[in-house]
Homo-oligomer: A and B are copies of this chain.
């Protein structure tokens, strides 16, 4: 479980990104890749990429770069791509539906196993092969799913989070504007669309723009 827990969180967040691009390269039949090439593709400084990889040991060869197949195999294991992670989606609105249509299996080996909604028109339907149950059924249907995506109105976020935690959920991806309170052993990631948009607007208005012919790089989030 915590074999290599020295990996910085910032690094861990980049791993899925690396994985996806290495996967692409592999499909393109590429055999080797340098940190510089990867850097151009994922827009992360090449030294940062080398540092990130180095937390897992010496994955590359000096003067050569990284072997794509080896890297892919390594990250597949590291990211637990062997066992599919099942998640539940709570709230089949537009945002929830967007998730249901997204194919997380291809690159991430994550499957949305079921969805819940309170709207009787949606209950009983299938969206992208995912069954939609009534929220009342959560108790019975959830099984041992440990991860939930919350795409419901903010006002319902806290009670729903409480319910999920009681039911054994350990990780919540919260798309509601509400900042939910959970026991310490539960992990919550907030993605707040309004905050993201407003932050972008704020940066645009308040941070110096760098004109095209200057050398400096703009940090890309």
Give A contacts to B, CB under 8 Å. Answer: 1-5, 7, 9, 12-13, 15-17, 19-20, 41-43, 79-80, 85, 87, 93-95, 97-99, 101-102, 104, 107-108, 110, 146-147, 149, 170-171, 173, 177, 179, 181, 183-185, 187-212, 214, 216-221
Contact = CB atoms under 8 A, between A and B. Distances in A.
A117 to B, nearest CB: 14
Given A102-B194, A218-B184, A206 B15 contact: no
Contacts of A41: 179
Question: How many copies make up the complex?
Answer: 2
Given A193-B102, A208-B5, A147 B184 contact: no
A218 B94 contact: no
A173 B202 contact: no
A194 B95 contact: no
